[in-house]
Structure 1
């Protein structure tokens, strides 16, 4: 995938992917930076951000927006997913059911704009935080 886009498969990019794969969850930039530094001491925060940006462009990493303005990152799930973010604990649950297919078709008919993609993210309280 890297070579097809004329990008180098750097140790830093591989480390970011490895950390995300091993975690199996969405990680904050601070946690990700800490774990990457454990693997590759001397890696700067800016390098981690650049690696994330490249990996996201390649479709390998998913980014979710948290209510506090920060982001969390994970290995991109297969298929079309939408995240639900808990506003209390920042837990992220991906759901595959997409209610926007019919709306996209209607918008295309009404506006003449062919919808190529969309982003839907929901916020609420998870079961644990409701208790």
Structure 2
């Protein structure tokens, strides 16, 4: 079994590029797969499978998300105690344990934190699958 968060990221800047990548990889562009990709490209915020399903078969959405993640087109992230969220964009995240707020961060903004973790612990940190968790300014001030 491949761990999808270790699969190299495929670059598809828009829906048509993503559909073409599917065809190049020998995968069918089924109606349900197309709907999932359309939803991800229409609103690029990380979203749950249920939000992406929008009244359609959630099991089919999960199967398609798994396939798209194994391919490298989609990533999922766990932000706090809620369900996994799926996105086509490569971000890293910070999440508030108090209020549940989260922020998508351009990866280079966390390079200094990654370097400090590497120096102290010898690990090459990533915050794409699990975020940096703490308290936002508001929750910290009111705790």
With normalisation by structure 1, the TM-score equals: 0.65
Tell whether 2:132 aligns with 1:119: no
Unaligned runs of 5+ in 2: 1-20
* Alpha-carbon separation, structure 1, partners of 2:102 and 2:43: 13
Q: What root-mean-square deviation, in Å, do the aligned CA atoms of Structure 1 and Structure 2 show? A: 3.1
Aligned ranges 1:63-74 → 2 under 5 Å:
63-68=76-81, 70-74=83-87
* Alpha-carbon separation, structure 2, partners of 1:13 and 1:129: 39
* Alpha-carbon separation, structure 2, partners of 1:128 and 1:107: 33
Residue 90 of structure 1: how far off its partner (Å): 4.3
* Alpha-carbon separation, structure 2, partners of 1:128 and 1:60: 35
Aligned ranges 1:90-105 → 2 under 5 Å:
90-97=101-108, 98-99=111-112, 100=114, 103=118
Change (3 A) 1:129 1:24: farther
* Alpha-carbon separation, structure 1, partners of 2:138 and 2:86: 22
Say if 2:79 and 2:102, in contact at 8 Å, map to a contact too: no
- Between Structure 1 and Structure 2, the one with more strand by share is 1
